[in-house]
C-alpha cells in the first residue's frame, strides 16, 4: 500500500506546478512528479527515491524546451513549418508565428480533468481540444480531442494518450515525449542503449530526413550495446527496433531507467549534447518531418499514424527505474 498526495503551487512566482507524491506505507520509499499543465502538461521533474532522473531549467521551460515537452501533432522538425497532406498545404502558424519544431502544444495550457488515486498509484489527467477558435487549430485544422495522463508509481511513471477524431476527415498525427534526463553519474558513468537498426540520412544544415536510412551497426550511431553519453555526440532519429531494452544505466548508483512504449512508437530520437548536464531519449511514433515524408512517397519510413473519422486511437510511454546488480564482469562500452 502507498499513500498518495498532491498539491498545486507557484514555482518561483512564475510556473504553476501540480506535485504528485507517493510514499510507501511499509518502508517509506518515495516518488515525486511535478507537472506543469500550462506548458503542455510538461513532466518537468521526476524523482524516484533520492534520484531526480528528469529535471528542468525554468527559463528554458517557459521560453524554449526543458523538463518533458509533449510533442504533438508534428514531433521534431517540420520543413519550413509547412507540410503537405492529401494534396493540401498546411502552414504551422500559431498567433502569427511560424512553428518549425516540436509541435503545437508544448507551450499551450491543457485542461486538467482531475487527479485519481489507487492503492499503488496517483494520476493526473487532462486534455486539449482542437476546435475553431483555438490558436493551434489554425495550424492543424482537424477537429479532435487529445487526452493525456501521467500515472506515478513508486518505481516510475507512465504517460498515456488518446485521440478522439470528432471531424469528418482522417487525422494524420505523430506524438512524442522529449524528456531531459540528467547525467546523474557524469559523462562516463551514465550509459545508454537502444536496440535500433537504422538512423535517417538527413539534409545536414537543418536535420530534415531525406527518407533514406543508414544501418547503425559499427557506426558512431550504434547503440545496440551500452555506451557512455560522454562518448556520443548524437542528434539522430532511430528506427528498426529489433527487441531488447532501451535503457539508461547509472553505473555508480547501480540503477537503470527502462524506457517502454506501445507498438506505434516505432522511432526514437537520441540527443547527447557534449558538456551539458542533460541528454534526451525521445520515444516517437514517427520520423522528423513525417507528414512531408509521407507526401513524398516514403510512407513506411515516415511512421505517420492515422485516426479515421469517428474513431479513436491511443498508446503509452513509461519510464521505470530498477536496481541493477554490480556491473563487474559485464561489458559496458565507453
Cell 527502462 found at: 258
Q: Is 333's pLDDT higher than 70?
A: no
Which residues have CB under 8 Å from 64's CB, separation 6+?
none
Task: For residue 156, give the 3-state DSSP assignment.
Answer: strand
Q: For 224-257, write each residue's pLDDT tens digit.
A: 999 999 999 999 999 999 989 999 999 999 999 9
Mean pLDDT of 202-217: 89
C-alpha cell of residue 168: 469528418
- Residue 308's CB is within 10 A of a number of other CB atoms, namely 11
Instruction: Give the model's pLDDT for residue 288.
Output: 96
Task: For residue 68, give the 3-state DSSP assignment.
Answer: coil
> Looking at the domain assignment, is residue 10 inside a domain?
yes
Task: For residue 277, give the 3-state DSSP assignment.
Answer: coil
CA geometry: angle at 288 spanning 286 and 290, to 5°?
A: 60
- Provide φ and ψ at 106, rounded to 5°: -60, -25
> Looking at the domain assignment, is residue 204 inside a domain?
yes
> Looking at the domain assignment, is residue 332 inside a domain?
no
Decide the pairing of beta strands 267-271 and 278-284.
antiparallel
Instruction: Give the model's pLDDT for residue 325.
Output: 83
Q: Is 265's pLDDT higher than 50?
A: yes
State how far the Cα of 165 lies from the Cα of 295, in Å rounded to an integer: 21
In order of 35, 42, 50, 60, 324, the CA distances from 46 in angstroms are 9, 11, 10, 17, 19
Q: For 58-89, write each residue's pLDDT tens digit.
A: 999 999 999 999 999 999 999 999 999 999 99
Stated pTM of the model: 0.96
What CATH number is associated with residue 268? 2.70.98.10
Q: For 143-169, write each residue's pLDDT tens digit.
A: 999 999 999 999 999 999 999 999 999
Which residues have CB under 8 Å from 211's CB, separation 6+?
200, 293, 296, 297, 298, 301, 302
**DSSP state, residue 289:** T
Instruction: Give the model's pLDDT for residue 329.
Output: 39
Residue-range definition of the domain harbouring residue 146: 2-323
326 or 85: whose pLDDT is higher?
Answer: 85
Share of the chain above pLDDT 90, in %: 93
> Looking at the domain assignment, is residue 330 inside a domain?
no
> Looking at the domain assignment, is residue 333 inside a domain?
no
State how far the Cα of 188 lies from the Cα of 184, in Å rounded to an integer: 10
Count the domains in the chain. Answer: 1
Phi-psi map region of 130: left, alpha, beta (phi>0 left; psi -120 to 50 alpha): beta
**DSSP state, residue 74:** S
> Looking at the domain assignment, is residue 334 inside a domain?
no
Q: Is 204's pLDDT higher than 70?
A: no
> Looking at the domain assignment, is residue 159 inside a domain?
yes
Q: For 273-287, write each residue's pLDDT tens digit.
A: 999 999 999 999 999
C-alpha cell of residue 129: 481540444
Instruction: Give the model's pLDDT for residue 1.
Output: 84
Band of the pLDDT at 328, cuts 50, 70, 90? Answer: very low
C-alpha cell of residue 6: 498532491
Mean pLDDT of 291-295: 97
Rg (CA), the chain: 19
> Looking at the domain assignment, is residue 65 inside a domain?
yes
Band of the pLDDT at 207, cuts 50, 70, 90? Answer: confident
Amino acid at each position: 500500500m502507498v499513500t498518495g498526495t498532491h498539491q498545486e503551487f507557484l514555482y518561483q512566482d512564475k510556473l504553476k506546478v501540480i506535485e504528485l507524491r507517493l510514499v510507501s506505507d511499509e518502508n517509506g520509499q518515495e516518488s515525486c512528479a511535478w507537472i506543469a499543465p500550462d506548458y503542455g502538461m510538461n513532466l518537468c521533474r521526476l524523482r524516484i527515491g533520492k534520484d531526480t532522473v528528469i529535471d528542468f531549467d525554468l527559463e528554458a521551460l517557459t521560453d524554449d524546451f526543458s523538463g518533458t515537452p509533449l510533442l504533438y501533432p508534428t514531433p521534431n522538425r517540420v520543413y519550413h513549418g509547412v507540410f503537405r497532406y492529401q494534396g493540401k498545404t498546411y502552414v504551422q502558424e500559431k498567433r502569427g508565428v511560424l512553428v518549425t519544431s516540436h509541435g503545437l502544444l508544448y507551450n499551450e495550457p491543457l485542461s486538467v480533468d482531475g487527479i485519481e488515486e489507487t492503492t499503488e498509484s496517483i494520476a493526473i489527467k487532462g486534455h486539449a481540444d482542437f476546435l475553431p477558435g483555438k490558436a493551434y487549430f489554425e495550424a492543424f485544422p482537424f477537429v479532435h480531442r487529445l487526452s493525456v495522463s501521467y500515472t506515478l508509481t513508486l518505481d516510475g511513471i507512465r504517460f498515456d494518450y488518446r485521440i478522439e477524431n470528432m471531424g469528418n476527415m482522417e487525422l494524420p498525427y505523430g506524438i512524442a515525449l522529449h524528456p531531459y534526463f540528467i547525467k546523474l553519474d557524469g559523462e562516463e558513468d551514465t550509459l545508454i542503449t537502444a536496440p535500433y537498426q537504422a538512423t535517417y540520412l538527413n539534409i545536414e544544415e537543418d536535420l530534415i530526413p531525406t527518407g533514406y536510412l543508414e544501418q547503425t551497426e559499427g557506426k558512431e550511431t550504434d547503440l545496440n550495446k551500452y555506451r557512455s553519453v560522454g562518448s556520443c555526440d548524437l542528434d539522430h532519429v532511430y528506427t528498426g527496433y529489433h527487441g531488447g531494452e532501451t535503457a539508461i544505466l547509472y553505473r555508480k548508483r547501480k540503477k537503470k531507467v527502462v524506457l517502454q512504449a506501445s507498438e506505434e512508437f516505432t522511432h526514437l530520437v537520441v540527443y547527447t549534447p557534449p558538456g551539458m548536464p542533460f541528454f534526451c531519449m525521445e520515444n516517437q511514433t514517427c520520423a522528423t518531418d513525417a507528414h512531408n515524408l509521407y507526401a513524398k512517397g516514403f510512407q513506411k519510413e515516415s511512421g505517420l499514424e492515422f485516426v479515421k473519422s469517428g474513431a479513436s486511437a491511443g498508446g503509452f510511454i513509461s519510464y521505470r527505474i530498477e536496481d541493477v546488480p554490480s556491473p563487474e564482469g559485464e561489458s559496458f562500452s565507453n
